[in-house]
Structure 1
Amino acid sequence: MSFFDSLFNLINDLTWGWALIPFLVVLGVFFTVASGFVQFRFFKRMFRVLRSSDEDSDPSQISAREALLVSVGGRVGGGNIAGVAVAITAGGPGAVFWMWAIALVGMCSALVEATLAQTYKRTQPDGAYRGGPAQAIIHGLGNNYRWLAVIYSVCLIASFAIGFNAFQGNTVAGAALDSMAIPRVWTGAVLAIATGFIVYGGIHRIAKAADVIIPVMAIGYIGMALLIILLNLTGVPGVIWDIVTNAFGFREAVAGGMGAAIAQGLRRGLFSNEAGLGSAPNVAATAYVRHPVSQGITQSFSVFIDTIIICSCTAFVILLGDVYVPGAEGVDGVILTQQSMVDHVGSWAQYFLTAAIFLFSFSSIMYNYYLGENALSFLTKNPVAVQVLRIAIIGIVFLGAVAPGATFVFNFSDPMMGILAVVNLLAIMMMFPIALRVINDFRSQLDAGIARPIFDPKKFPDLDTDPSAWPDAK
């Protein structure tokens, strides 16, 4: 066991330790500049997806709005509640500014990777669409790169389907035990049953559940944050001033100053919004849209929702209260967020936060399961394998919940996600010229007065696309 611990720690150091975050930042900036700041050009268009009838004209398919909600459910999780608190504790208020900065850059990375996943999606025998980075690697780079797609798929299953689902179960059970004294076994049983109901319904049931859970989750949490902001409205300018001055080292809240703020803000921001990590494109590929860039814009919007909106809510709840003391030790993570809420509105807030954590975590479990299923469908077409995966994930959620010290179950998740991110970034870097062609096609149609551009595979005869996935093309 010590050998594996050493191996995983080495992988983690070689990826997240020093190489991966600069890689993500540099590539995100490059994509932004090379694409002509496409995430800002299309920003107003992002809100069109909230009108459910805008892109969805086939009720048998996953709509753009449903794909948005599933991906938001996956991106929004413990990182938005506990991760922001950790970033502020370790990096000071300035970390929030750098979380915002990396989100604005990451919006472009999310747009590019989702556009590629859509471009190379395939129609399944049941008429549904399936795709993602593994399929994009095979059809975009060629079969010689199958080994790269296999590494990606194995790491996706190990990190998200196994490790992170154990973590989500553990987080919910811990919160329920601390705030309401509910035994872990009962929380684990409820989570396992709910997970079983969802995973045996496939992507359509996941999408329908997300269509209900995610708006309730997001609106409830944002509403609570807005209430706290209104109650402390006079303190908002001071908080914004602290965030900016700490971000640039004019004021030092923690040891390390500006360096700590940048490091914590970038790391926690990337962990939270997952832009460029190669997870959300698996969901993006399931959507029925008229043009790949339409779903790219939607996934860019999900990064905005995750970090600019929801992470900011947590940050203001913490920074407007009296619980957080810069440089002090002791209160950290979800406890800091929970105590800050209680400080603002009373003890009932701890129950509200427990409910929010349950919804956040359950939406992530649904998302993580689909990522695992999609990766498994690339590795094998054996239907028995999917059934084994479903049973395994139900068991993993339960075991993660009932074991208080279950960290050994998901200690390998971070290094596996590190490898996953490296593979995905290499792939989208090599395929970026293709993504840029597709983006320019979308842009030229808009310039020609076409309100809703349509992707025509015949205009890209050199690309290995699936014409049946684009029924709107003439």
Structure 2
Amino acid sequence: MLEVINDFLSGKVLIVLIVGLGGYFTVRSRFVQLRHFLHMFSVFRDSLRNSSDQLSSFQALMLSLAGRVGAGNIAGVGIAVTLGGPGAVFWMWVTALVGMASSFFECTLAQAYKRCDPDGQYRGGPSFYIQHGLGKRWLGMVMAVLLLLTFGFAFNGLQSHAVTSSLNDAFGLSTTWTGVGLAALLGLVFFGGIKRIAAVADLLVPVKTLAYIAVSLYVIVLQFDQVPEMLATIVRSAFGLDPVFGGLLGSAIVMGVKRGVFANEAGLGSAPNVAAVAQVEHPVAQGVVQAFSVFLDTFVICTCTALVILLSGFYTPGFEGDGIALTQNSLANVVGEWGRVFISVALSLFVFTSILYNYYLGENSLRFLIGDNRKAVLVYRAIVLLLIFWGAIENLETVFAFADITMTLLAFVNLIALAMLFKVGLRLLRDYDAQRSAGIKVPVFDARQFADLDLDPKAWPVPNPSAASEKAQAAQPVQR
């Protein structure tokens, strides 16, 4: 029954939602993900000067990349290629391109509707913009429950299973003891709260990402003469034009979209939870940054994994095996046995930071549902750690199917909410563009210009008079 429901939701509903609405957001925003692509670097530079107690834009990006760059970039790509052929990679690219627009708007709205808690820290996400933007707390609670089940519980078990299985294959380590060790290390970080999670992400995310890209590029350079033909094969296979993979057209689309969403999470409503905690001058600034994280996740890291697999000579049509084994064996086929070890170590880092991210999404959802109840948070932490250990030693096929279903329901609720709030997102974008067109290098958000929205004055205090004056002047052409 789970398989039938999953095939319908992720094989039909998810494709229409992700590609259809993402494409609509892209066109209506005049390709915001491309227009502001280079501007993202100046946002980074400004965020490094942040001296407040809040997380910077860059730290929020590292935290979101901690979750986006996970098992989906290694195992997920392997599964997509195994079941959908090389053409699945092309549909992962399409999903990412339109997903950048979806991610931009969901993270911009999360920033606009964020709340300042009693401790002075920001909280936000889909549940918050559904409640305060649409006035539907019940739907926000549904979203929070789905996030809690999907990321707080199901995905953590899956991530744990992926890394312990990989370490067992590469080093022969007991899944029981690696599960215990993983849970212990994660517990030390969990109990430090969002700031400790962000500090660990700041350290590990750049290391794991750059190391993985470097080794992948090494493999690609060794066989660079084959890269153009392999890229052509990916495109041909995506449209059923390659005779070897022609029969996989339907699977290529379904697997490309499904695994693409699993890898970059654009439109799922997960990234807005961490995007909202950043200290920025304007909500759109964080939306620009988060759109780039989708690009880095799929166009760079997932493409690296796909090319390693397809160029290795190990992969053949009809390959039977899991995605992790395919990636490990593909790299080992080119560089030797150390490639298998490297994938296991890389996957361990990917999974460790992903679980931290997943945990925070669950905690944020729990706080939305029941408020700041410290006992409930402690119980939640204990359950997550138990599930991490359980996931390390159990077969998770049923859990994977359940997670796919809840992930699709997440996308459904979040994207419908985004569609209903799209005009608000466009207003924020036009305000930002107007200020930049007027020559203001760092646009400032003046909540008084959006008095009709339910915004938190503690999160968006009135800017200083000079900045507010410049902002008002920049907005005049738009208002006329």
Q: Which amino acid aligns with 1:360?
A: F
Moved more, 360-369 or 262-271: 262-271
Measured against aligned partners, the alpha-carbon deviations of 1:186-233 in whole angstroms (never above 9, x if no partner) come to 211111111111111111111110000100110010000011111111
Q: How many angstroms apart in 2 are the aligned matches of 1:464 and 1:14? A: 37
**Mapping 1:375-394, distance limit 5 Å:** 375-381=365-371, 382-394=373-385
Matched, 1:15 2:6: no
Q: How many angstroms apart in 2 are the aligned matches of 1:91 and 1:405? A: 23
- SS of 2:38's partner is helix
Specify the alignment match of 2:113 in structure 1: 120
Q: What's the CA shift for 1:310? A: 0.2
* Runs of 5+ unmatched residues, structure 1: 1-5
Of 53, 74, 98, the match for 2:91: 98
Matched, 1:291 2:282: yes
Q: Which amino acid aligns with 1:80?
A: N
Moved more, 429-438 or 71-80: 71-80
* Runs of 5+ unmatched residues, structure 2: 465-480
Q: What's the CA shift for 1:89? A: 2.0
Q: What's the CA shift for 1:422? A: 1.0
Identify if the C-alpha distance between structure 1 residues 55 and 141 changes in structure 2 by more than 3 Å, giving closer, same or farther: farther
Confirm or deny: 8 A CA contact 1:168 1:361 kept in the other structure.
yes
Q: What's the CA shift for 1:95? A: 1.7
Q: How many angstroms apart in 1 are the aligned matches of 2:70 and 2:160? A: 12
Specify the alignment match of 2:233 in structure 1: 242
**Mapping 1:15-414, distance limit 5 Å:** 15-51=9-45, 53-54=46-47, 56-142=49-135, 145-254=136-245, 256-325=247-316, 327-381=317-371, 382-401=373-392, 403-409=393-399, 411-414=401-404
Specify the alignment match of 2:441 in structure 1: 451
Q: How many angstroms apart in 2 are the aligned matches of 1:64 and 1:454? A: 15
- SS of 1:19's partner is helix
Moved more, 405-414 or 66-75: 405-414
Confirm or deny: 8 A CA contact 2:151 2:358 kept in the other structure.
yes
Q: How many angstroms apart in 1 are the aligned matches of 2:368 and 2:8? A: 27
- SS of 1:36's partner is coil
Q: What's the CA shift for 1:269? A: 1.1
- SS of 1:470's partner is coil
Confirm or deny: 8 A CA contact 2:112 2:455 kept in the other structure.
yes
Confirm or deny: 8 A CA contact 1:56 1:289 kept in the other structure.
no
Specify the alignment match of 2:423 in structure 1: 433
Specify the alignment match of 1:3 in structure 2: none
Identify if the C-alpha distance between structure 1 residues 219 and 427 changes in structure 2 by more than 3 Å, giving closer, same or farther: same
Of 459, 464, 479, the match for 1:469: 459
TM-score (norm: length of structure 2): 0.93
Moved more, 177-186 or 93-102: 93-102
- SS of 1:352's partner is helix
Confirm or deny: 8 A CA contact 1:110 1:299 kept in the other structure.
yes
Identify if the C-alpha distance between structure 1 residues 235 and 472 changes in structure 2 by more than 3 Å, giving closer, same or farther: farther
Confirm or deny: 8 A CA contact 1:163 1:411 kept in the other structure.
no
Q: How many angstroms apart in 1 are the aligned matches of 2:236 and 2:413? A: 36
Q: What's the CA shift for 1:166? A: 0.7
TM-score (norm: length of structure 1): 0.94
Q: How many angstroms apart in 2 are the aligned matches of 1:368 and 1:57? A: 26
Q: What's the CA shift for 1:339? A: 0.6
Q: How many angstroms apart in 2 are the aligned matches of 1:56 and 1:371? A: 27
Identify if the C-alpha distance between structure 1 residues 274 and 194 changes in structure 2 by more than 3 Å, giving closer, same or farther: same
**C-alpha RMSD of the superposition:** 1.6
Q: Which amino acid aligns with 2:224?
A: L
Confirm or deny: 8 A CA contact 1:161 1:369 kept in the other structure.
yes
Q: How many angstroms apart in 1 are the aligned matches of 2:319 and 2:395? A: 23
Confirm or deny: 8 A CA contact 2:447 2:462 kept in the other structure.
no
Q: How many angstroms apart in 2 are the aligned matches of 1:70 and 1:54? A: 14
Identify if the C-alpha distance between structure 1 residues 322 and 37 changes in structure 2 by more than 3 Å, giving closer, same or farther: same
Q: How many angstroms apart in 1 are the aligned matches of 2:396 and 2:100? A: 33
Q: What's the CA shift for 1:270? A: 1.6
- SS of 1:43's partner is coil
Q: Which amino acid aligns with 2:395?
A: G
Identify if the C-alpha distance between structure 1 residues 159 and 91 changes in structure 2 by more than 3 Å, giving closer, same or farther: same
Q: How many angstroms apart in 1 are the aligned matches of 2:340 and 2:68? A: 23
Identical-pair percentage: 49
Q: How many angstroms apart in 2 are the aligned matches of 1:94 and 1:10? A: 24
Q: How many angstroms apart in 2 are the aligned matches of 1:294 and 1:410? A: 35
Q: How many angstroms apart in 1 are the aligned matches of 2:113 and 2:49? A: 20
Q: How many angstroms apart in 2 are the aligned matches of 1:429 and 1:50? A: 28
Q: What's the CA shift for 1:86? A: 1.7
Identify if the C-alpha distance between structure 1 residues 45 and 375 changes in structure 2 by more than 3 Å, giving closer, same or farther: same
